[in-house]
Structure 1
Amino acid sequence: MTPHNASGPSRWSDLDRPPLNATALRRGLLHEGGLWTSVDVVQRTGSTNSDLVARAGAAEEGAVLVAEEQTAGRGRLDRRWTAPPRSGLFFSVLLRPAEVPLERWGWLPLLTGVAVATGLSRAAGVDTALKWPNDLLVTVGGEERKAGGILAERAGEDGVVVGVGLNVTLRADELPVPQAGSLELADAVSTDRDTLLRSVLRSLETWYDRWRAAGGDPVTSTLQETYAAGCATLGRQVRAELPGDRALVGEAVAIDGDGRLVVATAEGTREAVGAGDIVHLRPA
């Protein structure tokens, strides 16, 4: 049982969930010529994305904002994302990819997915799959579960804030929905959030630098093929819930050069989906 004090739960009461070490994170991530320029850890906020978008005008590229608890975290379509304090990684980064044409900025959430999956594979020993466009999946008891999500938002004329929410130590009785998962439930070899965050941000820096150096070209940077290789949506029967109450059912066959999901229908047509909710249909 979690001990309580007179004024409610103590922030030190859950010893399995130590606080992040901001000093050690800065020491490990901030270096001359590197992407990351500041790392701030706050105890509690509504949404790290909203906070960083609001301060983007005065912030340098590479600002990182991490929250121990998010009370109004948002996913796509304004879905809420909540979790107990210190049970996950909830962070946002400010990017200004001036070298990349605007029409290629749509790759940023997919790039972040690749970077997070790569970083978690190294640091947590967990095979993380990507559900197009921005969900992070882990396997729990032989079943695919959503353990995280990514949200990118414009910040002024020249910036993008990319936010990541990831369930790390959520236990089965704490899951917001039965279909959710966490690194702990997926038998991660490590759930040390300092280690995981450093690994993910280093991976993100590597991928972002590579993509930026290629002018955002998804082929030259190998982003397109790497995303496709780790995408659990490809080869599946899917239903795409499209804007205007339209649905498209078919096989997800490719990720195109704009990062869109190409769906082949039973009627023999192919349609590239740029926005929408994707449901993985179970095999018949």
Structure 2
Amino acid sequence: MTPPDAQDNRWSDLGRPPLNAASLRRAMVREGGLWTSLEVVPATGSTNTDLAARADDLAEGAVLVAEEQSAGRGRLDRRWSAPARSGLFFSVLLKPADVPVERWGWLPLLTGVAVATGLSRAAGIDTALKWPNDLLVTVGDEERKAGGILAERAWSGSGGGVVVGVGLNVTLREDELPVPTAGSLALAGAPTTDRDPLLRAVLRSLEQWYGDWRAAGGDPRASRLQETYAAGCATLGRRVRAELPGDRSLVGEAVAVDGEGRLVLATGAGVQEPVGAGDIVHLRAAG
């Protein structure tokens, strides 16, 4: 007989063990490194909301991880949730004071590159990036969304900062998918779904990419961010439709990501038009 509190027990699903917070801190928080603190909480509404509320009191490099999110947020305030310990749900606090604010828009794209790079090393699986902030995996012969990224400005007494949140489906099963177009590392056939090494790999990759970007003054070309993002972006080379505010849509071929991180569409009229992240309501393959 199943105990009445089984769903609340951290060991109720042995296939989804809890993260080892102490081990993660020992591995990631070190003198001279980016990550200055790492906290794992059993559950919360949104790690982005929680970390942004504490930005004044935290140093750059604070990491907040939740075993479960009940009100995770994506772009345009879309809401989503997932079973406890079925994924990686975390946010980091970045304060790139030495980078011009106009280049901070690259941070969600930088995070996408870092997550994809870290997963390719640790999970042994190929991923792709859908502009501006989705992580794609292949399940069967279908391209599905396994993760998303949300960057939000957080003002503090010591200056501005950015909270970057990552949500990644790791062991989500077919019957647990919120929508048929969702996926997970497990469904994509990842050889490993142990969340501890996956999180360590992603954070190490993010530290490296962020450090290179800052060293280049936020220049996406000098830091190789722009070319690396383009190389891993599944949107480029495709005919897409960008649905914009005011019931306007734009159809064309995605031909480039420009120096400001915008997606450049070549329309049927022979015009190349950049689309900014703030203007995109939904981006999908057309036809």
TM-score (norm 1): 0.97
Contact 1:132 1:278 in 2 (8 A): no
Name the SS of the counterpart of 1:4 in structure 2: coil
Q: Which moved more, 1:240-249 or 1:64-73?
A: 240-249
2:87 maps to what in 1? 88
Post-superposition shift, 1:278? 3.9
Q: Which residue of 2 aligns with 1:277?
A: 281
Distance in 1 (alpha carbons) for counterparts of 2:30 and 2:215:
20
- Residue matched to 2:57: 58
Partners of 1:50 and 1:119 in 2: how far apart?
25
User: 1:214, 1:11 → 2: CA distance?
Assistant: 43
Superposition deviation, residue 76 in structure 1: 0.3
Provide the C-alpha distance between the structure 1 equivalents of 2:175 and 2:212, rounded to a whole number of angstroms.
40
Which of structure 1's runs of 4+ aligned residues deviate more than 4 A?
none
Aligned equivalents of 1:45 and 1:203: distance in 2?
A: 25
Q: Name the SS for the 2:206 alignment partner.
A: helix
Give the residue type in structure 2 aligned to 1:132. Answer: W
| Alpha-carbon distance between aligned partners in 1 of 2:199 and 2:6, rounded to the nearest angstrom | 29
CA distance in 2, matches of 1:57, 1:234: 39
Q: Aligned letter for 1:208?
A: Y
Deviations 1:105-149 (A, max 9, x none): 000000000000000000001111000000000000011000000
Identity of aligned residues (%): 76
Q: Which amino acid aligns with 1:227?
A: Y
Residues 4 and 13, structure 1, Cα contact 8 Å, conserved in 2: no
TM-score by length of 2: 0.96
Structure 1, residues 163-186: CA drift from partner, whole Å, max 9, x if none? Answer: 000000000000000000000001
| Match of residue 230 from structure 2 | 228
Shift of 1:95: 0.2
Shift, 1:246, TM fit: 1.1
1:4 pairs, out of 2, 9, 16, with 2
Aligned AA (1:149): G
1:104 is matched with 103
Q: CA deviation at 1:264?
A: 0.5
Offset, 1:228 = 0.1
Deviations 1:157-207 (A, max 9, x none): 410000000000000000000000000001111100000000000000000
Kindly provide the CA deviation profile for residues 71-113 of structure 1, in whole angstroms up to 9, marking residues without a partner as x: 0000001111210000000000000001100000000000000
Q: Does 1:248 align with 2:246?
A: no
Counterpart in the other structure of 1:47: 46
Measured in 1, the distance between the counterparts of 2:89 and 2:79 equals: 13
User: How far is the alpha carbon of 1:4 from its aligned partner?
Assistant: 3.1
**Structure 1 equivalent of residue 192 of structure 2:** 190
Q: Which residue of 1 aligns with 2:31?
A: 32
Q: State the alpha-carbon separation in 2 of the partners of residues 273 and 186 from structure 1.
A: 30
Letter in 2 for 1:4: T
Alpha carbons 1:172, 1:185 under 8 Å: kept: yes
Query: Partners in 1 of 2:143 and 2:281 — Cα distance?
Result: 17
What residue number does 1:171 align with? Answer: 173
SS where residue 268 of structure 1 aligns?
coil
Q: Give the superposition deviation at 1:211.
A: 0.1
- 2:212 maps to 1:213: no
Amino acid at match of 1:179: T
User: Residues of 2 paired with 1:199 and 1:206: CA distance?
Assistant: 11
- Secondary structure at the counterpart of residue 227 of structure 1: helix
In structure 2, the gaps of 5 or more residues are none
Cα distance in 1 for residues equivalent to 2:102 and 2:80: 28
User: Which amino acid is the alignment partner of residue 109 of structure 1?
Assistant: P
Query: For the Cα contact (< 8 Å) 1:169–1:183, is it kept in 2?
Result: yes
Among residues 134, 158, 161, which one is paired with 2:160 in the alignment? Answer: 158
Q: How far has the Cα of 1:217 moved from its partner?
A: 0.2
* Displacement of 1:8: 4.6
Letter in 2 for 1:280: R
Runs of at least 5 residues in structure 1 that lack an aligned partner in the other structure: none
